[in-house]
Structure 1
Amino acid sequence: MQPRRPALATAVLAAVLLSGCAQDDVPSPAEPAPSITEAAPSITKPQAVAPLPTESGAPLPAAIGPVPVQRADAALKARGPAPVALDIAGTDISVKVVDVGIDENDAMEIPDSFWEAGWYRYGPAPGAAAGNAVLAAHVDSLTEVMPFAQLKDVPVGTIVTVSLEDGRSLSYRVSDVRNVPKATLDGSAIFARDGDHQLKVITCGGEWLPDEGDYEDNVVLTALPL
């Protein structure tokens, strides 16, 4: 996933180009509410931003994967308190969480900062009764790997803490971490709005594909509520 403000030092889907948390109950006129559709828009590389190099000199991708959409008013009414922070024990992943939506390319937005993760606000929130709460973030800066580069190595059983805007903290236990080829990633499963509640944390990983300007995989961490 491609950084947009490299001086401030990403796949799932995932995971996504917003500044700050969304405070309104409905999207602003600049971000029209997505409508219900069976087709899932792809997370695509923003056309106005040139690729930036990784440590090895390869450019960085922005793609996470397909994102299902739902009427914003229904999703927002049912979502519960928004997450504001994410901490994964035993790692440097201790970051702010901001609300993100869908950009002009029908892509899930990703925060500019490497010290922020985006929560897809049109889906379930952490602590929801059902469905997956999805967080996604960048993996690389211009000169170094960033906290989410550690996501692929998080052991099963690790405790993940999500802080909410109402002051509560929720605890999850990691049940699975895997690299999923982007070509086979099931977006509808990642962004499910029914079934047992799970937390999905996503970034980019695997091999860099120069011809495609993207990483081969998404790293997808799944955690279950305690």
Structure 2
Amino acid sequence: MYAAARTLLHSILFAILILFLTGSSEEFTEAETAYSEPSIEGADAPDIEERPETPTASSPESISPAAIRMSSIGVEAEVDDMGYTDNGGMEVPDNGEDTGWFSPGFKPGQQGNAVIAGHVNDRSGPAVFYHLDKLKKGDLIEVIGESGKTITFEMESAASYPYDDAPIQQIFGASSERSLQLITCTGEFDNDAGTHRERLVVTASAVER
């Protein structure tokens, strides 16, 4: 039964998170284009109460994140719980200072790919993940839970993908590792598509202690 539920989760993720990465989510597009177009208003979180919930398993090592710290690039930010938008995408913060954890997916520290997203810029300029591309292999990423427990991840790799051709399952799906995926926009801004042309994905693994 659990395996069936996990398979369903992966299927839903594959379908709906394409919307997130392609920028077809209105909330994501508005927030990411705000710096280029100051007149665009920030988006409110939509009502998703009617959407079926998907299960997230816990483990003794997993946490519900409240903050993230990357000292090497000067990032210390809150992490907000994010779900689905009303049109099937991933919610993202409505400001440039906070980051968002996809809470229907995997928890940080759990076996699988936990996902935290942040904006590269906003109406006032550079946002929380503006320097994410400066993160280097071996740099540490600390995710702090609501209880104060910290799980440390070590940056392993970074890759940029076209906004309409990203490996969704690899980023959001199951994994034999306790992985963390950090996502932001990168590349030139595509006025026709209303979003940046690429997505930067940083992959990190939990440091065993």
The alignment's TM-score, normalised by the length of structure 1, stands at 0.71
1:162 to 124, 129, 143: 143
Match of 2:58 in 1: 78
How high is the sequence identity, in percent, across the aligned residues?
24
The alignment's TM-score, normalised by the length of structure 2, stands at 0.76
How far does residue 188 in structure 1 lie from its aligned partner after superposition? Answer: 1.2
Q: 2:58 is aligned with what amino acid?
A: A
1:38 aligns with 2:17: no
**Kindly tell me: are residues 224 and 194 of structure 1, through their superposed partners in 2, closer, same or farther at Cα, counting changes over 3 Å?**
closer
**Structure with more helix by fraction:** 2
Say what the alpha-carbon RMSD is for the aligned residues. 2.9
Q: Which of 203-212 and 137-146 deviates more?
A: 137-146
**Structure with more strand by fraction:** 2
Runs in 1 of length 4+ with deviation above 6 angstroms? Answer: none
How far does residue 103 in structure 1 lie from its aligned partner after superposition? Answer: 1.1
1:36, 1:71 within 8 Å by CA — same for their partners in 2? no
1:189 aligns with 2:170: yes
How far does residue 71 in structure 1 lie from its aligned partner after superposition? Answer: 6.1
1:201 aligns with 2:182: yes
Query: Structure 1 CA distance, aligned partners of 2:63 and 2:137?
Result: 27
Which ranges in structure 2 are unaligned for 5 or more consecutive residues? 1-7, 44-50
How far does residue 82 in structure 1 lie from its aligned partner after superposition? Answer: 0.4
Match of 2:69 in 1: 87
1:148 aligns with 2:129: yes
1:120 aligns with 2:120: no
Q: 2:159 is aligned with what amino acid?
A: R
Which ranges in structure 1 are unaligned for 5 or more consecutive residues? 1-34, 63-69
2:181, 2:202 within 8 Å by CA — same for their partners in 1? yes
**Kindly tell me: are residues 50 and 193 of structure 1, through their superposed partners in 2, closer, same or farther at Cα, counting changes over 3 Å?**
closer
1:110, 1:136 within 8 Å by CA — same for their partners in 2? yes
How far does residue 36 in structure 1 lie from its aligned partner after superposition? Answer: 4.7
**Kindly tell me: are residues 133 and 53 of structure 1, through their superposed partners in 2, closer, same or farther at Cα, counting changes over 3 Å?**
closer
**Equivalenced residues, count:** 182
